Amino acid sequence: MGKLDNKVAIVTGATSGIGRETAILLAKEGACVVFTGRNKDAGKETADMIAKYSDKSLFIPHEVADEDNWIEVIKKTKDHFGLIDILVNNAGQFFLKPVLETTLDDFNQICSVNIDGTWLGMKHCLKEMKDGGAIVNVSSLMGQMGLPEASGYCASKGAVTSMTKAAALEVAHRNIKINALHPGVVWTPMVGGGDDGNKDLRGFFELETPLREVGLPRNMADAILFLCTTEYLTGSDLNVDGGRLADGAMGSNAT
Amino acid sequence: MKSLQNKNIIITGGGEGIGAEASKLLASEGANIILTCKTKEEGFFVEKEIIDNGGSAKYIEHDVTSESDWENVINQASSEFGYIDSIVNNAGSFISQSMESASLKEFRDVINQNLTGSFLGLRYGTKAIREHGNGGSIVMISSVLGKVGASNATAFCAAQGGIRLLAKAGACELGPEKIRVNSIHPGLTDTDIGKFFPEGIEEDQYIKSNIPLNRKATSEEVAKTILFLVSEESCFITGAELTIDGGMSAR
């Protein structure tokens, strides 16, 4: 028996990294999983991985900044599996560029994916979500603190952190829980990691983290599952960062 | 296999409320529980309940403000189970008192029971966990009043805020040894410590106007959060604060 038997879940950005790992874990726990992403080939790969554990999943190509696209994802989910229990707003974008070199287009682009994408997901999902459901917004450690050359990313994730609380307060009367997950460095291609990642870079990140490790997608998926099943946590923040936020001086140990 | 099989876990304040629920829940997941508290009857009662249900538990009398008591707890736990994996620093006391009416002694008592007790738990717990060098998890039970203020709670807020940062400092210091330290911040729970309301305010009214989820937490719900923080599923989480308050502090 799984922790999520008969639950219906949507996971965005599930064509790689945290989203893929989360979609697989939720499926393993018995949920019907709709997983979305832009890259169809990678979506097929995730589908093959899920198929090992579950025959109740559906991939939908998805651009999270597009409202019509969201409406379509929700409709298909409902047609296929019924009302929604869980939404994991994971899709996101990251880039490093100094403020002076960041164009307004760059800034608007990252905000549209990270902010609009998350907000649209909550808005359209809440209409078709069962009372007692759960939403997990994947924000970031950088939604709580600064990082040089990441003004767009920090701004967009700060917005996700705040709107998580606002939305949580709005739907608490329906017993719907909305929380934010704050990953630290997760060793995925987004930060130059993954299987082919640079070893020196990994060593640098490890030394900057009190636990002397980088995070893995599985660590985030485990925390997301916890947030999907908790009954009294809402409007909260969960950091899964190996102690980086606590060590506010950012790598004061790395001496 | 149960998720905490062969784990040896010390839980302070295990005789009632959150501590008792956590002792039972973690025992049901296979852990050997060393539960401590000052009141023998309560401690032995929970110990018996766990053993009757097929679990493993040992009660030890314990005043968390006493260093010699801590030494005794660690020695007894080590000789009984061999090694320690986790400590849940849950014992604490609450007093509602205006700043003017509280004496310095009363202030210090609250700091001692909550903050100093947690510091000793961190210190002696770390010593015990270090013995085997495989790391472990230390969970500090603070309060939502360790994150936001409230009237008539200066000493309690100071102590709980102290616990919050004690956990973070501990996380930084102990991270390289794979000893994780996190804090939990419950709001109103169905425990004795939660049975406090400002004068003239009814519980139902207070809940309705202050808690978005419109109810208190059960001790079991907080215990599940403790389970998460001592389990492998949280192996990359340290220095984090988990607020379980029904949305109370989100606004």
**What pLDDT band is residue B195 in, cutting at 50, 70 and 90?**
low
Question: Strands, DSSP E only, in chain A?
Answer: 8-11, 32-37, 57-61, 84-89, 129-138, 177-183, 237-240
- At B199 the pLDDT is 66
Distance from CA of A102 to the nearest CA of B (A): 32
**What pLDDT band is residue B202 in, cutting at 50, 70 and 90?**
confident
Q: Is residue A202 part of a domain?
A: yes
Whether B240 and A232 lie within 8 Å, measured CB to CB: no
**What is the SS3 assignment for B125?**
helix
pLDDT tens sequence across B203-222: 888 899 999 999 999 999 99
Return the number of other C-beta atoms located less than 10 Å from residue A118's C-beta: 30
pLDDT tens sequence across B32-54: 999 999 999 999 999 999 999 99
- At B192 the pLDDT is 66
Task: List, as one string, the DSSP characters of A107-118.
Answer: HHHHHIIIIIHH
Q: Which residues pair with B141 in a beta bridge?
A: B184
Residues B12-24 have a mean pLDDT of 97
Distant-in-sequence, close-in-space partners of B149: CB < 8 Å, separation ≥ 6: B157
Whether B212 and A216 lie within 8 Å, measured CB to CB: no
The token duo for B239 is 């220095």
Give the C-alpha separation, A22 to A41, whole Å: 18
**What is the SS3 assignment for A192?**
coil
Average pLDDT score, chain A: 95
**What is the SS3 assignment for B33?**
strand
Whether B238 and A173 lie within 8 Å, measured CB to CB: no
Question: Strands, DSSP E only, in B46-146?
Answer: 56-61, 86-89, 136-141
- At A251 the pLDDT is 55
Nearest C-alpha in B relative to A186: B236
The token duo for A144 is 């709580």
Chain A residues in contact with B213 (beta carbon < 8 A): 172, 175, 232, 234
Chain B residues in contact with A223 (beta carbon < 8 A): 233-234, 237
Average pLDDT score, chain B: 94
Q: Is residue A246 part of a domain?
A: no
Q: Is residue A1 part of a domain?
A: no
The token duo for B80 is 């009984």
Interface of B with A in 216-245 (CB under 8 A): 217-218, 221-222, 224-225, 228, 233-245
User: Is 50 exceeded by the pLDDT of residue A119?
Assistant: yes
Max Cα–Cα distance, chain B, nearest Å: 55
B192 touches chain A (CB under 8 A): no
Distance from CA of B78 to the nearest CA of A (A): 26
By CB neighbour count within 10 A (0-12 exposed, 13-18 middle, 19+ buried), where does B209 fall? Answer: exposed
Among positive and negative, which fits the CA dihedral B13, B11, B114, B150? negative
Q: Which of A153, A154, A160, A225 is catalytic?
A: A153
Distance from CA of A98 to the nearest CA of B (A): 29
Task: List, as one string, the DSSP characters of A73-102.
Answer: HHHHHHHHH-SEEEEEE---------GGG-
Nearest C-alpha in A relative to B235: A219
- At B196 the pLDDT is 63
- At A255 the pLDDT is 43
Q: Is residue A247 part of a domain?
A: no
Q: Return the number of CB contacts < 8 Å for A and B.
A: 128
Q: Is residue A253 part of a domain?
A: no
pLDDT tens sequence across B139-166: 999 999 999 999 899 999 999 999 999 9
**What pLDDT band is residue B112 in, cutting at 50, 70 and 90?**
very high
Q: Is residue A26 part of a domain?
A: yes
Distance from CA of A52 to the nearest CA of B (A): 22
- The closest of A232, A186, A191 to B246, measured between CA atoms, is A232
Domains and CATH numbers, chain B: 8-243 (3.40.50.720)
One-letter identity of residue A182: H
Interface of A with B in 175-194 (CB under 8 A): 175, 184
- At A12 the pLDDT is 98
Interface pTM (ipTM) of the complex? 0.94
A153 is catalytic: yes
Q: Is residue A248 part of a domain?
A: no
- At A196 the pLDDT is 87
Give the C-alpha separation, B166 to A221, whole Å: 28
Give the C-alpha separation, A34 to B195, whole Å: 43
Whose tokens are 């538990």? That residue is: B57
Nearest residue, CB atoms, A210 vs list B175, B214, B234 = B175
User: Is 50 exceeded by the pLDDT of residue A124?
Assistant: yes
By residue range, what is the domain housing residue A227?
A: 8-240
Higher confidence at residue A127 or residue A248?
A127
Residues B110-122 have a mean pLDDT of 97
User: Is 70 exceeded by the pLDDT of residue A252?
Assistant: no
Whether B243 and A209 lie within 8 Å, measured CB to CB: no
Contact B216, B190 (CB under 8 A): yes
Nearest residue, CB atoms, B172 vs list A238, A240, A253 = A253
The domain total for chain A is 1
The token duo for B181 is 């330290």
**What pLDDT band is residue A188 in, cutting at 50, 70 and 90?**
very high
User: Is 70 exceeded by the pLDDT of residue B114?
Assistant: yes
Distant-in-sequence, close-in-space partners of B33: CB < 8 Å, separation ≥ 6: B9, B11, B14, B23, B26, B27, B50, B55, B56, B57, B58
Q: Which residues pair with B35 in a beta bridge?
A: B11, B59
**What pLDDT band is residue A250 in, cutting at 50, 70 and 90?**
low
Whose tokens are 């539960």? That residue is: B35
pLDDT tens sequence across B66-90: 999 999 999 999 999 999 999 999 9
Interface of A with B in 198-227 (CB under 8 A): 209-213, 215-216, 219, 222-223, 225-226
- At B1 the pLDDT is 75
**pLDDT-above-90 percentage for chain A:** 93
- At B97 the pLDDT is 87
CATH number of the domain where residue A95 is located:
3.40.50.720
The token duo for A46 is 């995730």
- Supply the pTM of this predicted model: 0.95
One-letter identity of residue B241: E
Mutate to test the interface with A, among B221, B237, B249 (most CBs of A within 10 A): B237
B247 touches chain A (CB under 8 A): yes
User: Is 90 exceeded by the pLDDT of residue A65?
Assistant: yes
- Tally of residues, chain B: 251
Residues A130-142 have a mean pLDDT of 97
Contact B239, B164 (CB under 8 A): no
Q: Is residue A3 part of a domain?
A: no
Higher confidence at residue B251 or residue B222?
B222
- The closest of A40, A134, A50, A140 to A90, measured between CA atoms, is A140
